[in-house]
Amino acid sequence: MSRWGYFFRRLLLSIPVLFLVMTFIFVLLRMGPVDPVAARLGPEATGAEAARMRERLGLNDPLWEQYVDFVTDFLVLDLGQSWVVYADWEVTTIVMNSGPPTLWLGFWAILLPLFIGIPLGFYAGLRPNSWSDYTASVSGILWQAMPNFWLCIILLAVLRQTQGGGWLGFDWYAFGPEIRSITGTPSLDFLSWSNPFGAVPFPTGIDWSALAVDVKLILPPALVLGSASMAAELRIGRTAILETINSNYVETARAKGLKSRAIVWKHVFRNALIPLVPVITNEAFLLIGGSVIVESIFNINGLGRIFFRAMVQGDLPLAGALLFIFTLIIIFLNIVQDFLYTIIDPRVGYER
Amino acid sequence: MSTSITSETGEPDSEETVLRERIAENPGPALFWLAGAAVLLALELGRIAGWITGLGSAVGFAVNVIAGIPRWIGGNVADATVPIAEYFVGDALSLLLLFGVASLLVGLAPWSAADRFDFGASPRTMALLERAAVTAVLAALAVLFVFTPVGGLVRTAAAAPFDLLSSLPTITDHEVISNRGHRTPGGGWEGTFLGLSPAVAWGIRVLLVYGYALVLIGWVWKGYEIFRTHYRQADWTPRDDTFDRFRSHYWGLFGLVVVVLFIATALWAPAVSPVPAEENIYSPYSYEVEYLEDGEVATTTIGNANLDTQSDGQNTVGPMSYDEYDRWAPLGTTPNGQDMLTHLAYGAQTSLVIGLLAIGLGGLIAVTMSLLTAYYKGIVDVLTVIASDSIISIPAFLLVMMLSVIFDQGNHVLAEPLNGGVLLGLIFAFVYWPGMWRSIRGPSLQVAEEEWVDAAKSYGQTPANTMRKHMAPYIAGYIMIYGSLLLGGVIIFTAALSFLGLGINAPTPEWGRLVSDGQSFVSTSSWHVATIPGLVIVLVVTAFNALGDGLRDAIDPEAAAGDANTDDTGAAAAGGGG
């Protein structure tokens, strides 16, 4: 099968996957053990009020009609209303409001590991079986096994401890821009928007001190959230370097007398990056799952924390809609990953 | 014990009789080994009988739940159509279920009735008739069990000997080596083992537990060696190389040791913990504790004592110390004043049950699906790809969270055992099988292309036999690798869920809940409450990852040295998320 044929087959497969996911969410919400009326009015709700609610939610319609309504609504992104957490708000509005902090967190949680994990992995791979390699590898393994929630509370305790001057006089509160609390939602108003080109707002200026505060607020949670990916990138980066360094073309380059610096930069690094592509796209899984915990502990009012609150308070439509959005993102990222693979790695498609 | 040897080394059934003959020829080494096994069994008979009772009640629960499924589906159908449909659909599905069980039984039985009674029908009809007959017998038995008192009688009769045996004292019992006692005015201890201090008595008991576990493993290994030197026909098998590779893989060995310690802690949780969980955690106000106060022995309920021994920042009972009621707390106390090590040991039990259930069931589904898809390919393969892609594209942690909350709020039957632990295990199995299936898909597709599979087909072996005998053994190793790597992930996820207050509810002990309870005291004198469980999680998860690495290098050395892509499944599986 040709490379593009493989890609389009994957693309085609994502359509039934999307429908199956929607069906699954529908089954969970409508046919699962939780009664929507009881969830909304309390377990004791009976009589006329419950009947009216039942009618309003459309629970008296035949099941297939409910299903068709549900699927069409979801497909046009009419995700319904929240019941409890933000009573009677449109889910889309909620997502618009709390999406940016999550995106900000995710951005840094991908960036930090990229600039710490991969260089460390490459460094270890270029000096195999040395002490620096062992240190990097072992700390990577331990770092990966640490649960995010535990890292969060330990990191918070350590940072709080530095208030008023901790070890070596380091004080996280006073370090860089001043912040009152080390947890909280970044305000993200460092960009000043205006409309020079008509209706579409366009960022025109940056408030650097506000940006610094936002970055400082997000660094600790992003470090925790990116920890697992950082370790994974370290491990795989190290293996990838070891593999390319022992491959024939590097041998050839060395035989023709190329300088080792040129070998490393021209031949080793670029090829070692290929196996890292799926790791980087896979981070989305970890980020979405981990954002629930990290946002809850660091008090960031993002999508993960709202999902958690929706779950705890029995706000099933909000939780279902958020789950659907996350799934959409992941399906999209999978397609992007296949696309990248098709472009970068010419071997894909011939072997599979 | 000969059967245990054969199943352990995976010999095909037909060789079993041969092995029996070989043992009959030279019974010496086998008897020696059996004698050792008998000694080990006698020392811990009570506890082993207790495990069997626990296993029995778990099986009973599973049977009850499965038997309830047809009725539940029937009820749903009745809601959508006419009420009478409930009985028809329910009974029809029950019969179908029994037919499935009958097919399994017939497949497993060494002989077949169809061979004995030959009245000229085609083999296909004969097989079908045989299964139908077994189904009828099973249905009759089921009716007898459900609608007459016979069921209850049989159940009591079966459980009685084990209940009796489980009350026998073992060498690791609290009654035999007691660490619960109180100081005497004269400065000694009363009520403890040999009048030693509780710390020493507890230490002796814990050493005995881990010593016993190590001897047990040594004995199993000895059994394999005896089998290898005295009873195995072949001088060498590929498995020998696998064992050799693993024995020189120190990272994997480290993982194995820690995993064994973890499993031993879980199995011997009552012996490792300094106080029984029932007294200290579940019903503290029904039991009393004696202690020395102002030179006199006083008594109070454990619940009251716990109120005074809380580790909540102001007041701390730290690791390796006695509390004011003369109770030995090796890892200190929790913010509720309960014993921390008891929580940790029983929490290990919870994690182990969930992990084994998740990986066992998920692995079973994954292996079955991989065999089916590799053998039949085509539409089965495409459907499985779609189903697995759908489950994988829903973020796992959120899916687990949602399922557990929905079942928990709906007060589903499954949410009862272990305060949601069993439910969590089932959810993990559902969420993780697609990942495992994907990981072993490559190897199983390769095996399906091998010549011996072709040969088996052309000799007229049934598809089921071909898959079971000629394909499954090659996949088993791979599922062990990924199972080990995933177990770490299951442990982290479980802890994360209970940290958030979901998943496993109190009072069942869980590591994540300990971290959650202690999170506000990390920078106070009660630092141990959140720190120690976190470190234990890191250690156990690292160990499972190491074991997985070791198994991979031992089972499939080429994959380990070769493709870096094989790494990412493992790396993504075990880390993060929680």
What was the pLDDT predicted at A169? 64
What was the pLDDT predicted at A352? 40
Residue A63's closest chain B neighbor by CA? B80
Nearest to A150 among B410, B500, B534 (CB): B534
Same domain, B372 and B286: no
Average pLDDT over residues A30-57: 72
Tokens representing A245 are 């360094």
What is the domain-level CATH number for residue B489?
A: 1.10.3720.10
Residue A153's closest chain B neighbor by CA? B519
Query: What is the domain count for chain B?
Result: 4
B534 with A330: Cβ contact below 8 A:
no
B568 with A153: Cβ contact below 8 A:
no
Is a pLDDT exceeding 80 seen at residue A164? no
What was the pLDDT predicted at B159? 81
Same domain, B250 and B284: no
Whether B556 is covered by a domain: the verdict is: yes
Whether B37 is covered by a domain: the verdict is: no
CB contacts < 8 A, A to B, total 199
Same domain, B52 and B95: yes
Per-residue b or e along A163-187, where b marks 16 or more CB atoms closer than 10 Å to that residue's CB: eeeeeeeeebbeeeeebeebbebbe
Whether B55 is covered by a domain: the verdict is: yes
A213/chain B closest Cα distance in angstroms: 25
More confident residue, B89 or A298: A298
Domain interval for residue B64? 45-166
The closest alpha carbon to B3, from B26, B20, B28, B25, belongs to B20
Same domain, B267 and B286: no
Q: Are B474 and B401 in contact (CB under 8 A)?
A: no
B84/chain A closest Cα distance in angstroms: 20
Same domain, B543 and B432: yes
What was the pLDDT predicted at B573? 40
Same domain, B320 and B463: no
Q: Are A96 and A213 in contact (CB under 8 A)?
A: no
Per-residue pLDDT of chain B (578 residues; tens, 9 = 90+): 333 444 444 444 455 567 888 888 888 888 999 999 999 988 888 888 888 888 888 888 888 888 888 888 888 777 767 777 778 888 888 888 888 888 888 777 666 665 666 666 677 787 788 888 888 888 888 888 777 788 788 878 888 888 888 888 888 888 888 888 888 888 888 888 888 889 999 999 999 999 999 999 999 999 999 988 888 888 888 888 889 999 998 989 999 999 999 999 999 999 999 998 888 899 999 998 888 888 888 899 999 999 988 888 888 888 888 888 888 999 989 998 899 999 999 999 999 999 999 999 999 999 999 999 999 888 898 999 899 989 988 888 888 888 888 888 777 788 888 888 899 999 999 999 998 998 888 888 888 888 988 998 898 888 888 888 888 888 888 898 889 988 988 999 999 999 998 888 888 899 999 999 998 888 888 889 999 999 999 999 999 989 998 998 898 777 644 343 333 333 334 444 45
- The model's pLDDT over A86-120, given as tens digits with 9 standing for 90+, comes to 877 888 888 888 888 998 898 899 888 888 888 88
Same domain, B238 and B262: yes
Same domain, B95 and B78: yes
How many whole angstroms separate alpha carbon B221 and alpha carbon B209? 19
Q: Which residues contact A225 (CB under 8 A, 6 or more apart)?
A: A105, A106, A109, A148, A286, A287, A290, A291, A294
Same domain, B106 and B135: yes
Helix (H) or strand (E) run with residue A168 in it: none
- The model's pLDDT over A9-22, given as tens digits with 9 standing for 90+, comes to 888 888 999 999 99
How many whole angstroms separate alpha carbon B578 and alpha carbon B357? 19
CATH numbers and ranges of domains, chain A: 92-344 (1.10.3720.10)
Whether B493 is covered by a domain: the verdict is: yes
Whether B193 is covered by a domain: the verdict is: no
Instruction: Name B293's bridge partners.
Output: B296
Whether B63 is covered by a domain: the verdict is: yes
Q: Are A150 and B530 in contact (CB under 8 A)?
A: yes
Same domain, B488 and B368: yes
Q: Are B25 and B233 in contact (CB under 8 A)?
A: no
Same domain, B439 and B526: yes
Nearest to A34 among B396, B410, B530 (CB): B410
Strands B189-190 and B182-183: antiparallel
Is a pLDDT exceeding 50 seen at residue A23? yes
What was the pLDDT predicted at B3? 39
Whether B112 is covered by a domain: the verdict is: yes
> pTM for the complete prediction?
0.87
Whether B571 is covered by a domain: the verdict is: no
One-letter amino acid at A22 equals M
Same domain, B67 and B131: yes
